[in-house]
Chains A and B, each alone.
Chain A
Amino acid sequence: MTNEKLNNNNAWQAKLEDTDALQEYTLPDKNAVWESLYGKLNKEHRPKFFWYQMAAASIIAVVTIISFLRSTNNNNVVQQPSVKLQQQHVVPGELIEKAVIEKTNAPHPIAKIKSTRKKIEKPFKQIAEIPEIEITGTSQTQPVLINEAKTVPPVLKDSVVKTPTIIAKAPKRLKIVHANELDNEGSCLNMAESRIPARIKIFNQDIYTDYTLAAHNTGAGISILKHKTSPN
């Protein structure tokens, strides 16, 4: 029974799908229908490509912006001249560096550090080197005067200064001594003032305890007493 029904259905189907017999009910313009169908199929592909393109373009834009910002940051770092270098606290004999902004064709001014060496001569300090005097039996013909003492040239700092930090030299602080302290017993100054200049003769050589006395008598002398008035 079911087989008969199935055969009947197939017969109906075959009859009703006979395109030759039912030509008038088929598509009149197949190409037009195909064109619209193909257009519909392609329409769905376009948005996909569009969004892919948009995504790619946005990624490229983000990367470009990031790289641009990084490059501008680097330029800013170069452009900052160190203010410390232009400070006027100059220690003699040190290197002076100035930041000079050079005009170039570059879109952003590039700061270059030009180092100009200015030697500021230190005033010579006359340091009297007192030669050691041996009290021996041998004769020393003349006493040594301060004027004839060797002058040692000041040691200049290394000409190559690697660190541009310039620190102002602190002024020397002198020890403040009260006047009453000077009057105390045992004070060196007091002792020196109270000392009586004398002439000592050792091994046929006159040694004066006071410079003025020595200068008066022989034109030379040794100041035995030294005052130390500063911590240095």
Chain B
Amino acid sequence: MNTKKLVKEAKRGIEASQKCLFDQFNDRLMLICYRYLKNRQDAEEALLDGFHKFFKSLSSFQYNSEAQLYVWLKKIIINECLMMLRKKNVFNIVTEDAAIGVQLEEDALNTLSAKEIFELILELPVGYRTIFNLHVIEGMNHKEIAEATGISEGTSKSQLSKAKVLLQKKLLQNGLDYDKRKIK
């Protein structure tokens, strides 16, 4: 069924259409939740709350395209994940203005499989992982990250650089032939 029609019917509260929209997006969104929270139970809870907010505020949504709908839904889900992390006080990070200038060769990571990258990210500590997710994967700048997480931009930068260093170490520790996979 057409996504536009599904959204239209879901706005009227038709259960079948709402379930279709849930089925269409729940896998991708669950992966996002899992990547941020690293816990299945928390991820399910964040997904549930996110979808609940989505259906509640769907009446005010103006549908243009499926991509736009997904971006909106993803934003809601990420906000839910950040709220859950805030509740656990994971962003109570000491400000570190002096960011270490570590350059993670992102092209090298491109050579890794999705599962390898996913598991590497999950191995990062929660603070590093969150900033890494927000900056490298979601493409947010440090100002936006600072606003979303309640930390300073400097802290965001230092957290990101530390996350990259740790990720390189992890790659080496896991015995991955990072240099061989390096495209350059």
A residues engaging B (CB < 8 A)?
5-6, 8-9, 11-13, 15-19, 21-22, 25-27, 30, 33-34, 36-38, 40-41, 44
Contacts and interface: CB of A to CB of B under 8 A. Distances in A.
A21 B114 contact: yes
Interface in B11-50: 15, 18-19, 22-23, 26-28, 30-32, 34-35, 44, 47-48
B26 A33 contact: yes
B138 interface: yes
A13 B106 CA distance: 13
A36 B48 contact: yes
B139 interface: yes
Given A38-B15, A40-B48, A25 B137 contact: no
B136 A9 contact: yes
A13 B137 contact: yes
A25 B106 contact: no
B89 to A, nearest CB: 25
A27 B136 contact: no
Contacts of B121: 16
* B interface SS class: helix
A33 B49 CA distance: 11
Contacts of B117: 12, 15-16
Contacts, number: 78
Given A9-B136, A30-B23, A22 B52 contact: no
A17 B32 contact: yes
B61 to A, nearest CB: 16
Nearest to B109: A12
Interface of B: 15, 18-19, 22-23, 26-28, 30-32, 34-35, 44, 47-48, 51-52, 55-56, 106, 109-110, 113-115, 117-118, 121, 136-139
A17 B31 contact: yes
Contacts of A9: 136-139
A3 to B, nearest CB: 12
Contacts of A30: 22-23, 26
A33 to B, nearest CB: 6
A192 B15 CA distance: 122
Contacts of A13: 137-138
A40 B35 CA distance: 25
A36 B56 CA distance: 15
A44 B55 CA distance: 12
A22 B118 CA distance: 8
B26 A22 contact: no
Given A6-B139, A26-B30, A33 B47 contact: yes
6 contacts: A8-B106, A16-B118, A21-B114, A22-B118, A25-B118, A27-B27
Contact of B47 (A18, A21, A27, A38): A27
Residue among A9, A27, A44 having the largest count of chain B Cβ atoms under 10 Å: A27
